[in-house]
Amino acid sequence: MLRTPSGGTGSSGAAGAEGRLVSIGTVLNLLREEFPEVTISKIRFLEAEGLVEPRRTPSGYRKFSTDDVERLGYVLRMQRDHYLPLKVIREQLDALARGERVQLPAPAQPRDVLDLLEAPEGPQEADGGPGGPEGRTAARIGRAELLATAGVTEGELVEWESYGLLCAHPDGGFDVDSVTIARLVADLGGFGLEPRHLRAVKAAADREAGLIEQVVAPLRRHRNPQTRAHAEATAKELATLAVRLHAALVRAALHPRGQ
């Protein structure tokens, strides 16, 4: 039986499956008490990722044991409470199976979407004032550092690059925002959203950035340094408003009229 770091079994209501194998529909009902958002597609995805290995009947139907249900509950709990990538969760499950103790990070607090626009500024170029093109951060991280920090594989990164979700600079480095992008793409993948599904999100972001650039481009070309500084402040304010609008539109689309 899977033992969680807190010493419990993390059954998520799986006691009813003790000593017998149950169908995927029963597993869904057992998990939904703690994870109301879980779906059969999510369970199948976690199986495909090797997080759980249910038995199969001669006719091909999945049959889950109590341990299988507990493993699924553990995976969903680590994603919900700690925002851990599946690779890390898989390593934790392997360690628990060997009887090792697993140290968990502190529970993560969901970040507001606007926080993504408030990343710390990097070092400025010596000959550039704050806010001008020369004053933007030149910070880069290497490919290996991106993989390690985001907790993703080389194969995943190559696939994401092929869909334009991440792009290295000519020097081979990545912007520090690439870590955030990689983690978010990985998190969305945990719900079955593949890189090909995210091309529309990338296209929308490019269009929004293009609209903002149309507004601030004349300011950036101005001779007055203060005007160029104002361009960067304006770009940031417009980006904040665009993200708010995008989030509001998504929320509105998810709630049909009259509900």
Q: What angle do CA 86, 192, 201 make, to 5 degrees?
A: 110
Residue 104 has pLDDT above 60, yes or no: yes
For residues 99 and 89, give the distance between their C-alpha atoms in angstroms, rounded to a whole number.
15
Between 58 and 8, name the one with better pLDDT. Answer: 58
- In the prediction, which pLDDT does 110 show? 47
User: Averaging pLDDT over each range in 16-25, 68-77, 110-119, which range is the top one?
Assistant: 68-77
Residue 200, φ and ψ in degrees, nearest 5: -65, -35
Helices 143-150 and 154-162 sit at what angle, rounded to 10 degrees?
A: 110
Asked if residues 199 and 185 have their Cβ atoms less than 8 Å apart, the reply is no
Asked if residues 135 and 124 have their Cβ atoms less than 8 Å apart, the reply is yes
For residues 93 and 150, give the distance between their C-alpha atoms in angstroms, rounded to a whole number.
19
Tell me the pLDDT tens digit for each residue of 29-67: 999 989 887 888 889 888 988 899 999 999 989 999 999
64: helix, strand or coil: strand
For residues 75 and 92, give the distance between their C-alpha atoms in angstroms, rounded to a whole number.
10
pTM: predicted TM-score of the whole model, two decimal places: 0.49
Between 128 and 222, name the one with better pLDDT. Answer: 222
The kind and range of the H/E element at 55 are: strand 55-56
Asked if residues 36 and 80 have their Cβ atoms less than 8 Å apart, the reply is no
Amino acid residing at 204: A
Between 206 and 79, name the one with better pLDDT. Answer: 206
Domains and CATH numbers, the chain: 14-97 (1.10.1660.10), 135-193 (1.10.1660.10), 198-259 (no CATH)
The kind and range of the H/E element at 63 are: strand 62-63
Asked if residues 167 and 161 have their Cβ atoms less than 8 Å apart, the reply is yes
